[in-house]
Structure 1
Amino acid sequence: MLTHGLVIGTLLLLSVLSFRLEALTAGGATLMFLMGTGIELAAGWRGLLLIFLFFATSSAASRWKKEEKAFLASILDKTDRRDWLQVLANGGPPLLFCIGYGSAGHLAFLYAYIAAVAAANADTWASEWGVLSKGTPRLLLSFRPVPKGTSGGATLAGTMAGLGGAALIGLSAFLLWYPVLSPQGAALAALLGFSGMLLDSLFGAAVQEKNRCRICGEETERKDHCGEKTVRVRGIPHFTNDVVNLLSVSAAGLLALLVKMLPG
């Protein structure tokens, strides 16, 4: 049986390594360690291993064919080196569901935790693999074609990648918590995670803040472009990609919590 000290020590080592490998900023690595500690204390090494699986596979996906994604630097507000806000947006809701599971002992919180992690993994996989697709991204609301990297844009390849990312988390959770977790329950959590990814795309298309460069006219998430401040053209002010991620991951977990707490 793994001791808390061994697990926390390993987590500290992984946090430092993530910073040294430039997968996380200093703030991101620090928050990863603190939140990971909370998850381990609430749900044990199984809970920590599940969210680490998300972090490891998502970081690998972000670095895969990195040179082909270089054009995203002018569109996206963040790089592939995740900061503390990105860690909080993707890991905050799972941490809260974990605390609920650890304190209340109700399996509904475990399902919520798995669904939230599945949503985060599905969204990252969809984004990282979808941008490499040869297909044209389309907005889910209108099916209007948009440039690659546009928030809310989806491709078939990206959607299938997202489904795979959610399925990986669901399958891993089943193996980690068997026989507490049934195959049907793990599949439900994965499906709700995939639904969270779709909700992320809808939020990205409908309400995420979009800006336009005053110089070149490119639409971007960035507040500055070509050395000048950008102008907001649509979306809710300050409704960034981090906010979208936070809401979609939370929604997936809350939906799982609701479904498992309903009588019958």
Structure 2
Amino acid sequence: MKPAIAVPATLLLVYRAYSKKSLTPGGLLAATLTAIAHALHPWNLPFVLLVVFFLAGTRATHVKEKVKAGLTLKSGGTSGSEGPRNHVQVLANSLTASILSLLHAYQLRSRQQSLLASPGGSNAGSLCFAWGGDLLVVGIIANYACVAADTLSSELGILAKGQPRLITSLTLRKVPRGTNGGVTLTGLAAGLLGSVVVVTAAMLFLPFCSDETAGTLGGGAPWSTEQRRTLILGLTLWGLLGSVVDSILGGLFQSSVKDTRSGKIVEGEGGVRVLVSGSQHPERELDVAADVKAALLHGEGGSAVEDTDPTLGAAESEARADRYDARDKHRRPSFGDEKPSRVVENGWDLLDNNDVNFLMAFGMSVGAMAVVSWYWQVPLSSVFPAA
């Protein structure tokens, strides 16, 4: 990408994120480095896809933001508005595309040097996007099609009128809004929209090889109309599949924590795990509370509290003190409703939201390249720089 375009575009992107408070300071730094990595590519395509994803994602985040804030809870106990994204969230969605973009930029520059050194050579490869050509380009587009589909599906699907159903449940049982693995028709439609937006932008900015470039230096096999349609349809459906895969991974390997009093899902700020207080060992929490009170009543610590009441008889006073005896395992807790405040709705606590997003983006990008490698009969090893 030309520096005259890349520099002001990057500054505008960072300024917009700063003014809209879409990113934390760490997120701004990560976004700047990501933009630079994309701008180093000779084509405009990677940078354009990054901008399209960022704008579409932030716009979807702000759709009925106040309504969505009341549908879930933050891990701190307040309403669950998304808030600015941090550096981990930025990298989870864009790191794979950054690596693929840098690899492809290296390939293009190597080809260009080879062509200049040997103008008559035919093994240097094409500098335009040819049918049966660069797999890395497919991986870059697939990455943003999938993460855009996943982002719009999550941000807009939660507003669906119907309750989401758990995709990893054999019975597709209904779950609270915001549950990992919960899907709705509205969410799937939003995911398809996100994929369509990214793929459309890609088709507009891809430097396709054509009949005019077929016989020129650095040209490649031209695309037919049918081939373009196949690419568009395949990448669009692949992006939608990415949002479904993200739901499956989240439903299986990311625990969804529900607040038992409100029935709402508790979301970890920054995509991190949510602690489940009292859900695994509620009796231990109650014992600790009772032990503290017993210690106070028996005068342990700096300020002692009377454990007997002079107005009560000796027997009644002793019974009341024994009620808080930590050694009595059959005592009733002195306070609390004996119920955990949070419970796990579904999923194993193996990954957090950022882990799931990165695994989905990486897996779907590599998967797209593998499928196209088979379809085009191009070795997958071609994505690596030649020795």
Greater helix fraction, Structure 1 or Structure 2: 1
Q: How does 1:30-45 map to 2 (within 5 A)?
A: 30-42=29-41, 44-45=43-44
Judge which range, 71-80 or 146-155, deviates more: 71-80
1:252 to partner: Cα distance? 1.3
1:209 to partner: Cα distance? 2.8
- Could you say what secondary structure the match of 1:42 adopts? coil
Corresponding residue pairs, total: 262
How far apart, CA to CA, are the structure 2 residues paired with 1:148 and 1:232? 15
Which residue of the partner structure matches residue 111 of structure 1?
Answer: 138
* Residues 89 and 243, structure 1, Cα contact 8 Å, conserved in 2: yes
The code of the aligned residue for 2:48 comes to L
Cα 1:224/1:71, change in 2 over 3 Å: farther
- Could you say what secondary structure the match of 2:161 adopts? coil
Among 73, 83, 99, the residue aligned to 1:96:
99
Cα 1:72/1:41, change in 2 over 3 Å: farther
- Could you say what secondary structure the match of 2:179 adopts? coil
1:53 to partner: Cα distance? 0.4
- Could you say what secondary structure the match of 2:257 adopts? strand
Q: How does 1:137-152 map to 2 (within 5 A)?
A: 137-142=164-169, 143-152=172-181
* Residues 121 and 166, structure 1, Cα contact 8 Å, conserved in 2: yes
How far apart, CA to CA, are the structure 2 residues paired with 1:259 and 1:193? 14
1:191 to partner: Cα distance? 1.8
Cα 1:16/1:225, change in 2 over 3 Å: farther
Q: Note the alpha carbon deviations across 1:189-239, whole angstroms, 9 max, x for none.
A: 22222111110000111111333558767543433589x998774644451
1:258 to partner: Cα distance? 0.6
Which residue of the partner structure matches residue 256 of structure 1?
Answer: 368
Which residue of the partner structure matches residue 10 of structure 2?
Answer: 11
Q: Normalised by the size of structure 2, how large is the TM-score?
A: 0.62
1:42 to partner: Cα distance? 2.6
- Could you say what secondary structure the match of 1:200 adopts? helix
How far apart, CA to CA, are the structure 2 residues paired with 1:73 and 1:213? 9
Which residue of the partner structure matches residue 186 of structure 2?
Answer: 157
Any unmatched runs of 5+ in structure 2? 109-132, 210-222, 269-273, 278-284, 286-339, 378-387
Cα 1:215/1:40, change in 2 over 3 Å: same
1:3 to partner: Cα distance? 2.6
1:185 to partner: Cα distance? 1.7
How far apart, CA to CA, are the structure 2 residues paired with 1:116 and 1:78? 26
How far apart, CA to CA, are the structure 2 residues paired with 1:31 and 1:188? 30
* Residues 73 and 79, structure 1, Cα contact 8 Å, conserved in 2: no
How far apart, CA to CA, are the structure 1 residues paired with 2:167 and 2:198? 24
1:177 to partner: Cα distance? 0.6
Judge which range, 148-157 or 183-192, deviates more: 183-192
* Residues 62 and 80, structure 1, Cα contact 8 Å, conserved in 2: no
Q: Percent identity?
A: 28
Cα 1:238/1:205, change in 2 over 3 Å: closer
Q: Does 1:47 align with 2:93?
A: no
Looking at CA atoms only, which structure, 1 or 2, has the larger radius of gyration? 2
How far apart, CA to CA, are the structure 1 residues paired with 2:176 and 2:74? 10
* Residues 126 and 159, structure 1, Cα contact 8 Å, conserved in 2: yes
Q: Provide the aligned C-alpha RMSD in A.
A: 2.7
Any unmatched runs of 5+ in structure 1? none
1:187 to partner: Cα distance? 2.5
Cα 1:245/1:230, change in 2 over 3 Å: farther
Judge which range, 152-161 or 8-17, deviates more: 8-17
Judge which range, 229-238 or 206-215, deviates more: 229-238
* Residues 100 and 136, structure 2, Cα contact 8 Å, conserved in 1: yes
* Residues 72 and 177, structure 2, Cα contact 8 Å, conserved in 1: no
1:45 to partner: Cα distance? 2.4
The code of the aligned residue for 1:97 comes to L
Q: Does 1:177 align with 2:206?
A: yes
* Residues 119 and 192, structure 1, Cα contact 8 Å, conserved in 2: yes
- Could you say what secondary structure the match of 1:211 adopts? strand
